Structure 1
Amino acid sequence: MLICYGDSITAGHGLNPGQSFPDALQRDLDKNGYSYKVSNMGTSGATTKDAVVNVGTVIKAHPSVVIVEFGGNDGLRGLPLEQTRKNLDAVLTALNAAHIRILLAGITLPPNYGQDYIGTFDRVFSDLAAKHHAAFIPMIYKDLVNVPGTIQEDGIHPTARGSEIIASTLLPVLKPLLHK
């Protein structure tokens, strides 16, 4: 089993059933001959504090791999970055202790948050990926930038097409963690 553990980006906020990036990832894995069941454990509005509270549920499901996608709501709410770091560190530590392979998916913030805050925010993800030897995508939206029709009108959440692109972005980094 592969669990996508995250916030509204993972949950598929604003999308119809079957249109989230975990759904698209399931289709991509099936097409590529992988026999993993993808479980979407995304929760709209979730912060890294919620991730810590609920990581035990993820571990109890006994996944082989977990994609961790949290932090955007922390950043958008201006929560202290040290708390975001501490929370994500606790999640990754718990997953590692359970011998679960991890892909950490980073996100960044809009430019109006200022370069200092954004730079520090971005480093939280890269530092923790290195510390925990996790597979890492610095920016889950990297292939959506300036691509029309990939972000919903709210300017935050991916469209169905955006979710497909996110799955395609994740797959090459995910493959080394998978077994056929």
Structure 2
Amino acid sequence: MCLPAAVYAKTIMILGDSISAGYGLQPQQGWVTQLQQRLNQQYPKKHQVVNASVSGETSSGALARLPRLLQTYKPHIVVIELGGNDGLRGQPPQILQQNLGKLVSLSQQSQATVILLGMKIPPNYGQAYTQAFEKTYLSVSQQYKVKYLPFFMKGIAGHPQLMQKDLIHPNAQAQSILLNNAYPYIQQALHAKP
């Protein structure tokens, strides 16, 4: 008989921008709150989710905040959902790649398992920029050997009925899709030994 792998109590920190901060939503509607609810159902009283996301956050801003966050919360898992604002500002992809790499490295140095949620941006800046932007996530995931979800907004982007009026931020209806996109990666990390 095969017993399921033990699940160790873990703190999961979400380091993101407006998509994870729940911009334009009631606090209880966001995917991060839904993540805590799902974990409570599946693993009662085991896991704590810390939402360290800030609307408008860039990879540089998150990098400035991360050391204190790691010290304060000592997360076992860090989920990085950043880059959209870097892309919308036309930041060079090399800078995003450097910053994401440092975010991953700092998290790993504090013994956290890292999950990288990839982003794509509209083709406003041309195909070369768009491709270079998307490739940063793959490059960082390979360099630091972290799990990465190629596109966190899969199944939402391009569907106006799942977006707020600004067509940038997912609406309340889309939050369960975001959770379902990220959850297999988070659940896998929960089963890893501390």
* Same topology, TM > 0.5: yes
Choose the corresponding residue for 1:40, options 43, 51, 61: 51
CA distance in 2: counterparts of 1:147 and 1:31, whole angstroms: 30
1:86: which partner in 2?
98
Query: Identity rate of aligned residues, in percent?
Result: 31
* Preserved contact between residue 47 and residue 74 of structure 1 (Cα < 8 Å): yes
CA distance in 1: counterparts of 2:155 and 2:69, whole angstroms: 28
Do the aligned partners of residues 146 and 83 (structure 1) sit closer, same or farther apart at CA in structure 2, a change above 3 Å counting?
A: closer
Choose the corresponding residue for 2:12, options 2, 15, 30: 2
CA distance in 1: counterparts of 2:130 and 2:167, whole angstroms: 17
2:122: which partner in 1?
110
CA distance in 2: counterparts of 1:44 and 1:109, whole angstroms: 17
Choose the corresponding residue for 1:130, options 136, 142, 145: 142
Q: Give 4+ residue runs of structure 1 displaced > 6 Å after superposition.
A: none
Deviation by residue 1:137-180 (Cα, 9 ceiling, x = unmatched): 01000121454532111111111121111011111122110039
**TM-score relative to the length of structure 2:** 0.87
Choose the corresponding residue for 1:29, options 24, 34, 39: 39
1:51: which partner in 2?
62
Deviation at 1:112, TM superposition (A): 2.3
Matches within 5 A, 1:132-171: 132-147=144-159, 149-171=161-183
Choose the corresponding residue for 1:100, options 100, 107, 112: 112
CA distance in 2: counterparts of 1:148 and 1:78, whole angstroms: 24
The RMSD of aligned alpha carbons is 1.5
Count of residues paired in the alignment: 180
Choose the corresponding residue for 1:71, options 65, 83, 89: 83
**TM-score relative to the length of structure 1:** 0.94
Consecutive unaligned residues of structure 2, counting only runs of 5 or more, are: 1-10
Consecutive unaligned residues of structure 1, counting only runs of 5 or more, are: none
Secondary structure of the 2:142 match is helix
Deviation at 1:111, TM superposition (A): 2.3
Secondary structure of the 1:108 match is coil
Deviation by residue 1:28-58 (Cα, 9 ceiling, x = unmatched): 2223226211111110111110111011122
* Preserved contact between residue 125 and residue 138 of structure 1 (Cα < 8 Å): yes
Larger Rg: 2
Deviation at 1:19, TM superposition (A): 1.3
2:3: which partner in 1?
none
